[in-house]
Every structure is written in structure tokens, then in C-alpha cells.
Amino acid sequence: MKFASSYEPGEYESDIYGAWEASGVFAPSTPTVPVDDDGDGVDDRSAVNTYSIVMPPPNANGNLHIGHGLTIAVEDSLIRYYRLRGKSTWYVPGADHAGFETWVVYERELEKHGHTRFEYSRDELYAKVWDFVAEQRGNMELQLRALGASCSWNDLTFALDENVIDRAYTTFEKMWNDGMVYRGEKLVNFCTKHQTAFADIEVEHKDEKGTLWDIAYTYDGGEIVVSTTRPETLFGDTAVAVNPEDTRYKDVIGTTVHLPLTDREIPVITDEHADPEYGTGAVKITPAHDFDDFEVGERHNLERIKVIAEDGTMINTPEKYLGLTTAECRKQVLKDLKEQGLLRGEKKITHSVAHCYKCGTVIEPMLKEQWFVDVKKLAAIAIEHLEANEIKFYPDSKQKILIDYLKNLKDWNISRQIPWGIAIPMFRKADTTATDEPDWIFDRRTHLKEIEVGGVKYTRDEDTFDTWFSSSHWPIVCTDWTEGNFNPYYPLNAMETAGDILFAWVARMIMIGLYVTGEVPFREVYLHGLVLDAHGKKMSKSKGNVINPMDLVTKYGSDAFRLGILRGRSAGMNQAFSENSVIAGRNLCNKLWNIARLVQSIVDEGGAEDDGSTYTTDNMGEDWICREINACLDQVEQCMQEYRFAEAVEVLYQTIWDKYADWFLESQKIFKNTDLLRKTLEVILVALHPFAPFVTETIWQNLSWTEGFIIIAEWPHRLKYDPISASEFDSLIGVVSEARATLQALPGTNNAKKYGLLYDKDSLVEDNKLLVRTLTKVPSINHLDGAPRGLRLALANHELYLDVPAYVVKAYRDALTEKILAVGRELDSLNARMLNPSYVNRAPAHLVKETKDQIQEKEKLISRLKNQLHLI
RNA sequence: GGAUCCUUAGCUCAGUUGGCUAGAGCGUACGAUUCACAUUCGUAAGGUCACAGGUUCGAGCCCUGUAGGAUCCACCA
């Protein structure tokens, strides 16, 4: 006996994975460079049946979290399914440099050792982080293997690989030449702790309690009171704005007021931005430190005075306030205003405040010169292709959400002040007197700080690209797409990722993909929601409810984890997850293991035939299981096409456990059709393989007659069977179930062993005595001799009696009465339906006929039960 | 303020274009046990499908509204 009595995943999983990896089955079966055998200049593989997915790259030096676990479960199931279906599959793994994330970790490391980033040059820092990441790398890749990801490791793409950088530069250069990249001084979201800018989507807005202060700005003969939550920025005020419709201030418009604590006069202007309903209706305008004020400033040509430096301290203020932090300055300003009698009131309010998503520091809108991508054209093209339904979304509601986002997209700030990233390939003219030369030039030599072009010296921009700029090329770089060459793996068949990066990543991949290749980067997008804890709460370190996928893999096995995380999950939904579903998965693996163990032992006993490819069905249970397996395959195929993984797993679970094991294998303890057992076991193993790769492969390797790897087996064809015979087995199941239920309901225990079964004119039971006896465990089945006796089973088309003594029948009387009433209620509702002329006339004929048949059957049943009751 | 999604058994969720008595896993109760599996087998209890209308022969499903929950976007001087 090769099979242990229970399946212990830990004993097999790493060996199985190693064997797959060594055999080369993960690599696509067709080469990825163009093939032109006949020399006609056309790639000869245009008809190749391919399926490709690229992995959203996990952080190279991090650990996988539960969301990665879900990603891999989904992607790998797809890849394995299409591999079995004969496609040349390419699953490209990736590793992200995770620019900001890694940088935060590294900077903390520096601080621990008493250093700061400002002690080093950009190049030094880059080299240091590179070493740091290299040291930490590898865990993540081992964890992907533990999850069973059947990805092509030779093609692993790291976000800072030469080809990734090269591709980003090529696109940037194209954009520069197309005039889609510009350098602009704009307000950016700035974290004063990390001293870097962020894109809008990287900022977290939180509702916070704050104070709204009223401050008087005086003028000769009066004052105008403004409301602000940020009094310390008043040094940067260059105007006070009121709404043009606001009659209260019509006399002051066009004049100037005195800016408190300074000797400056600022104008009173009118602008729609001022809301007469809010506060006093007058608002101070600080173009250098507020997004709305910036726009007001643009409209009115106001000066932008920076009063907060990048380290969060005050500049360009009266001397008293210079160098204070914003918080200190606010205190001081309020104190001074109060002393001067200019503070007119304060009120507690709740407002949303932008925070750095990593350190929680309040984001400071900061005036900076940065590189921006003009997204209008990119977005317009993307919208056009999305509206043409070139990409199918799961869930489909995301398509509209994405289009709406693209319609309102603002220009994209791609500059980051973090050394750990791809250097922006732009150089600035060092000598400002050389007026004929352009200020900025594109050049790929970013390893140099300074270059000379045409006798003019240029220095490199110190900034790096926003991570999303390079990662939006992921489908392009991972598939080695090159201009002018047919690539059978681009566009990707599917892009699977977390729903919360729809805008940050998916939107940008679509825009960049179209810009670079002219084609959408993928045909379908499957977005998964958050994996919540067992009570539907978000997982977070502070709540302590984080589930580590690797712990579950260690405890229950990789397959159990995969089955568990897919269960009860649908596209785009945030759904709870608990260990229970993983346990259910573990149990299925063990069940399958024991199914294989039983089948192998029957095959061993029966002496293996030389060829298992042919089989016959010799009895109704065999026809029935073939029918059920075919139906299961139909459903699995349908589900895979529609990304309904949970349902696919559910169907397989039911078929394997409730049908194959509980009915078919039980019946095979009598019949033992070894050819069919082998065939059907192979089919269910292959069908389950995409979801539970390890246990199915382990079994495959242990079975005496199978060859090769199941991972590259052929997806099963439909089984041949006799449908009439199969449906007879349905009747038999009905008989057995009713007998079991009745026996259970009788008073006393162990009834199945006590009472025999009697039949009259029932060929189904007569012909299958042994089978019925085995399934019900009754001690005997005999033909009724003489008058009916015992307890008649509640089956319309069978005359069957449990041979129980009269006193037991009497004890069953109440249950019988209840049963008659229940059937009566069903009969009533059926009759009511038939009495409705609209139903009879309008409903489809087959439904009406069905109802008629059912009425007949219920009537038959009810009269027999009543007869039984009468006898008692 | 705008948008999207959700509300079905004690818990977590299925329920594909409307069709008969609404399903599963876990949990619960009762029973079984040499003979593949206690990670097992059998049986059962448990649901006004959030609420109110409407369309239809027929609604968990379609339409309108209400309530509750989640997420996203925008704004908040």
C-alpha cells in the first residue's frame, strides 16, 4: 500500500513543486521571440493558442499577505486550468522595488543607526538600498512557491531591471517629444517627514476635529473677518476673497486690507470660490499652500509666497516666527492675534485632513517644480477603447467607475523625491548664460550626475519616477513586447488584481498600454475585494486580526488554503474569511486522498488491466456517475469562463464528496468496475487540479497506472453513459434516502440493523437487492409474502415496507399524520396553480405538464399513506 | 454632495437570462462505528430572502421608494 491513511500535505508539497519546476512545465511551450521559419517576415505562431497573465509584483523584500494569497489562488487556478485545456500558458512572476514602502523601511533603518538621508548623495543612497533589498530578497519568492504558483521563474521581472527602466525611458522620451510632459510649478501633496511629493490617490483623507478661527483683517474705517483653520499660513496670504454675489462686502471690493502681524496690504477680490454661507463669507487666499487658493491665485494673477519650507518650518515670515514648526507658529500667531484684539471667535468643526498614508503626517500642499504628464490625450484614448468594450471587467460595474475617473483625471505628477527608484532622465542646463540652449534635455545617461551636450553642461534632475509610471508598463515589459513584432502573449488574457488599485494601476496600465502599443494591455480584468477577518472587519496590525497565509499553509496545506480563500468569494466584493473554510478545504483533500486509496486498492485486487482508456458502464450507478461528472465539467467550464471560482470549487466539492464518494464508490464496493474507477478518478483529479494542485499531483504520482504529470494532463472529455439507466439510479437514491430517514425517525436506536425491507412488484429493488442492502444497511430484503405488513415507505412509485412490528408502527402514527398533512399542503399549492387559468394558458407547456404529473404523484402518495394510517 | 456595491439559516456566503418544495460550508441536535477516510458515515432542526409598493400566470432575482451597512471620488476657508 503506497497511500498513508491520511493526507499530510507537508510531506509532499515541496517535493512536488520542486519536481514541476525542474521539469520545465511552468515555461510557455512556445518561444517568446519571433519565429519566422518560412522567411516571409511574418511570425509563424500567429495561430498559437496562448494564455497569459502577469503577476502583480509583490514587494521584493517583503512577505506575502492574505491578499497576495488570494491573488495567487485566483491567477494560478486560471493558469492551471488553461494549461490543462491545452493552451500555451505564460504566468510571469514579478518583484516590486516598492519605491516608497521600501524607502520608508530603509530610512527607519538609517535612523536606528543614527544617520539621515541627508548625509548621502542620491547615488550612494540608491546603492545602499539596493544592497539592503538584495539581503532581504527571496522570502517572497519562496512563499509564492509554497502557494503553488506555477509561474515561469526564468522570466521573473524585477521593477528595477534594465528592460523596465529602458522601457520607462522610451515612453518618457516619446511623451517629451510629443509635448505631453511638462515641468510646472504647482502645488503637490507633500509629506514633510519623508520629504517627498505624492500623487492625489496616495493621500489618505481622514475626518478630524479642528478649529475654525475668525480673524479680523482691518482697513481704514472697518474690518473684514475671515475664517480659517490654518492661521499660521496668513503670512502667505496675497488676497482676501468674497463671493461676487455677496452684498455685505460690496464696499470693500477692490480696496486693500491690512494683513495682521505684518506690514503688508492685500487686495479684496471677488471669486466664486468664496461661499457666502460658510463662516463669515470672506476667505483668506494663500496660493502657495492651499489647492483651492492656488486656483484662485491663477485666476487673479496673485503672488505665491511660500511660508512653509520642505522640512515643515516657517520661512518668509517676520523674524519672530522664522524657523518655528507649523504647530508652534500657529500657537504663537493665535496668541499674538488675541493680544492685538484681532481674534474674533473660534468654533470646533470636523473637517477632512490629508495624511501621509505611511507615517500619518499631515500632508502639506507645497509649491514645487515637478514633472507632470498631461493626461488629457491618454485618458481620452483610454475612454474610447473602454467605451468600445475592448476590456471586460469583473465585476462589470468597474468599467463605468473607471471611465468616470478618467473623465475627471488631473495632470499626473510623476516626480518623487525618493532616491530608491528610477531616476528621471532629464538634465538641466547648468550654465544659465548660454541662452540659446534649451533649459532641459532628455538623456538616458542617468548614471551620470553631469553630462555635456554640444559643449553645454547639464546636471541631472535628482528626482525619481512615481512607481506607477514604470509599473504601468508591466504587461508590456513582462511579455517582452517590442515594436513591430507580433507577440502572441500581448495583450494579456487577464489582469487580476486588488480592486483598490483600479485607479492607481489598472487605469495607468490601460493608458500607457494604448500609448505605447496601440492596443489595450489585457482583454479582461478581474478585481478582487478585500479579504476581511471572520467577523467582516478589515484586517489591521493595530486590531491584531491579521491572518498570515503562510501560517495556514503550514497548518493545513497549500491546497486547503487555496480552496478556503476562494470559497464564498465573488468579484469585487469585500468578504469575510475564516479558518473554517480552510479546514473544509483540508477535509476535501483528505477525502480525495482516501478516495484514491480505495480506488487503488480495488484496482490492485482486481489485477490492473493494461490499458485504462476504455471502459464500459455495467450498471445504473456507473451510468449515473458519468452523467454527474459530465454535468460537473459543464459547470466548472462555465464558471471558469465567468471567473466564478467559488462556484466552481463548490460544484467540484459536491460532486467529489456527495456523489462520487457517497453514492458511486459505495456502490462500487459491490460491482468493482476497475476500468471505470480508474477513468473517473482521473477525471475528477484533473478537474480539481487547478484549485488543489498539490494533492491531485501527489495522488497522480502515487497511482499505479498514471503517467507523467497531472499538471500537463489533458482536460477531460465527456464520459459516455446510458441516460435511462442513470435516471433509474436517481430513483434508487430516492428509495434508499426514504428508507434511511424513516428508519432514523422510528423509535429506538440502531433501527437499520433491526428491520428488514419487504417489496412487492418493485423491480428496481428486486433487481438491486444487494446494493440497496449495502446502502441502507438493513439485514434483509425479501419479497412480501401474503398481506402487506409493517410500515409502508412514503414513495409514490414503489411498494416497499419496513418489516416492523405493529407496536412500532403505532408509535410512528403521529409522524405519519404529519407527513400526510405536509404532502397535502404541497398538493394544495399545486392544485391552486392549476386552477389559475392564466398559468395554464400562459406558462410554458412543459411546466404545466410537470405540475400535472406532480399532482398525480402526490395524490397517489397521499392515498397510500392514508391507507397505511387507516390500517394502524 | 456624487457614485458603486451589499442586506438570503446562529455565522460566512451561493443562488447564471424570473419557473415548481430557496442551497452550501461551518455551527447545533440525534444516531452510527473492525471492513478508504472521526480530517468519517447517516438523519434532522433552522429562512416573512431588510422593509413598502409595482410589473408578471409566476419575483430572492426586474422596476420605484424607504431604512441600514460597506467602499470609492469630490469638497470642507
Separation CA A53–CA A33 (nearest Å): 17
Burial degree of A584 (CB within 10 A; 0-12, 13-18, 19+) = middle
Q: Which long-range contacts (CB under 8 A, 24 or more apart) does A648-651 make?
A: A648/A691, A649/A563, A649/A566, A649/A567, A649/A691, A650/A567
Separation CA A508–CA A409 (nearest Å): 11
Question: Does residue A256 contact residue A241 with C-beta atoms inside 8 Å?
Answer: no
Separation CA A646–CA A649 (nearest Å): 5
A774 Cβ contacts chain B strand, under 7 Å: no
Q: Give residue A739's identity as a one-letter amino acid code.
A: A
Q: What is the pLDDT of residue A506?
A: 96
Q: What is the pLDDT of residue A539?
A: 87
Q: Supply the mean pLDDT for chain A.
A: 90
Average pLDDT over residues A164-192: 94
Nucleotide closest in space to A843 (CA vs C1') = B57
A151 Cβ contacts chain B strand, under 7 Å: no
Q: Give residue A752's identity as a one-letter amino acid code.
A: A
Q: What is the pLDDT of residue A1?
A: 46
> In the predicted model, is pLDDT for residue A621 greater than 80?
yes
pLDDT tens digit sequence for A714-738: 999 999 999 999 999 999 999 999 9
H/E segment holding residue A473: none
Residue A615's nearest CA partner among A678, A660, A670 is A678
Nucleotide closest in space to A400 (CA vs C1') = B4
H/E segment holding residue A799: none
Nucleotide closest in space to A231 (CA vs C1') = B77
A282 Cβ contacts chain B strand, under 7 Å: yes
Question: Does residue A572 contact residue A499 with C-beta atoms inside 8 Å?
Answer: yes
Indicate left, alpha or beta for A559 from its phi (over 0: left) and psi (-120 to 50: alpha): alpha
Query: Where on strand B do bases come within 7 A of a protein Cβ?
Result: 3-6, 11-16, 19-21, 24-26, 30-33, 36-44, 56-58, 70-77
pLDDT tens digit sequence for A364-391: 999 999 999 999 999 999 999 999 999 9
Question: Does residue A802 contact residue A757 with C-beta atoms inside 8 Å?
Answer: yes
pLDDT tens digit sequence for A667-696: 999 988 999 999 999 999 999 999 999 999
Nucleotide closest in space to A743 (CA vs C1') = B43
Q: What is the pLDDT of residue A31?
A: 61
A399 Cβ contacts chain B strand, under 7 Å: no
A574 Cβ contacts chain B strand, under 7 Å: yes
Q: How far is the CA of A743 from the C1' of B30 (A)?
A: 13
Question: Does residue A398 contact residue A526 with C-beta atoms inside 8 Å?
Answer: no
Q: In the structure, what pLDDT confidence band is assigned to residue A33 with cuts at 50, 70 and 90?
A: low
- Here the ipTM equals 0.95
Q: What is the pLDDT of residue A41?
A: 61
Q: Which residue has the higher pLDDT, A699 or A400?
A: A699
Following DSSP, what letter does each residue of A11-40 receive, concatenated?
Answer: HHHHHHHHHHHHHTTTS-SS-SS---TT-S
pLDDT tens digit sequence for A291-329: 899 999 988 999 999 999 999 999 999 999 999 999 999
Following DSSP, what letter does each residue of A220-243 receive, concatenated?
Answer: TTEEEEEEES-GGGGGG--EEEE-
Nucleotide closest in space to A354 (CA vs C1') = B76
Say which residues have a Cβ less than 8 Å from residue A507's Cβ, sequence separation at least 6.
Answer: A382, A402, A405, A406, A409
A274 Cβ contacts chain B strand, under 7 Å: yes
H/E segment holding residue A267: strand A265-270
Strand B contact residues in chain A (631-690), C-beta within 7 Å: 638, 644, 646-647, 650, 653-654, 657-658, 661-662, 665-666, 669
DSSP letter assigned to residue A547: P
Strand B contact residues in chain A (57-86), C-beta within 7 Å: none
Q: How far is the CA of A570 from the C1' of B28 (A)?
A: 28
Q: How far is the CA of A568 from the C1' of B24 (A)?
A: 10
> In the predicted model, is pLDDT for residue A435 greater than 80?
no
pLDDT tens digit sequence for A808-864: 888 888 888 888 888 888 888 888 888 888 888 888 888 888 888 888 888 888 888
Q: Is this model's pTM higher than 0.90 or not? A: yes
